[in-house]
């Protein structure tokens, strides 16, 4: 019996290794169905580790956006392009004056590679 290529993630080292492998696979120019399956499997294993070892406390979505922007060296004007919305809307969102639409949540989750649930939480709107 052959051993499995990937196993359930049980250590931070293994998690980092799988993340690196996934990053390489995703950047492949052509994806065969076998490669797509491998990407999906690694994604499931990594997401399972993330859920079980969430180091991100349940924070409000706006604080999360600010944190992710800092981590990715992004400015508000970059979010305008990423979200394809106006500067005013980005400003209102970042200053707790507007909530997040479903489209904005989906775009942020896809861009930052995090679960949509991270952004789909109550936001303390300030008037």
Domain ranges of the chain: 12-52, 61-118
pTM: 0.56
Helical spans, DSSP H, in 72-119? 76-83, 87-94, 102-112
Query: Number of C-alpha atoms within 13 angstroms, CB side, residue 45?
Result: 22
- Superfamily for domain range 61-118: lambda repressor-like DNA-binding domains (1.10.260.40)
Q: Would you give per-residue pLDDT tens digits along the chain (127 residues)? A: 567 889 998 988 998 898 889 888 888 887 788 888 888 998 888 888 887 776 555 678 999 999 899 988 999 999 999 999 999 999 999 999 999 999 999 999 999 888 888 888 888 888 7
Tokens representing 6 are 């990937």
């Amino acid at each position: 019996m052959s051993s499995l290529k990937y196993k359930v993630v049980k250590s931070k080292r293994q998690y980092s290794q799988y993340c690196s492998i996934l990053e390489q696979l995703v950047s492949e120019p052509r994806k065969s169905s076998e490669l797509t399956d491998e990407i999906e499997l690694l994604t499931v294993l990594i997401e399972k580790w993330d859920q079980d070892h969430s180091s991100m406390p349940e924070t409000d979505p706006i604080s999360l956006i600010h944190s992710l922007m800092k981590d990715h060296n992004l400015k508000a004007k970059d979010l305008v392009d990423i979200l394809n919305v106006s500067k005013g809307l980005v400003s209102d969102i970042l200053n707790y004056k507007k909530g997040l639409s479903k489209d904005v949540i989906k775009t942020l989750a896809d861009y930052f590679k995090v679960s949509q649930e991270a952004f789909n939480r109550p936001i303390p709107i300030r008037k």
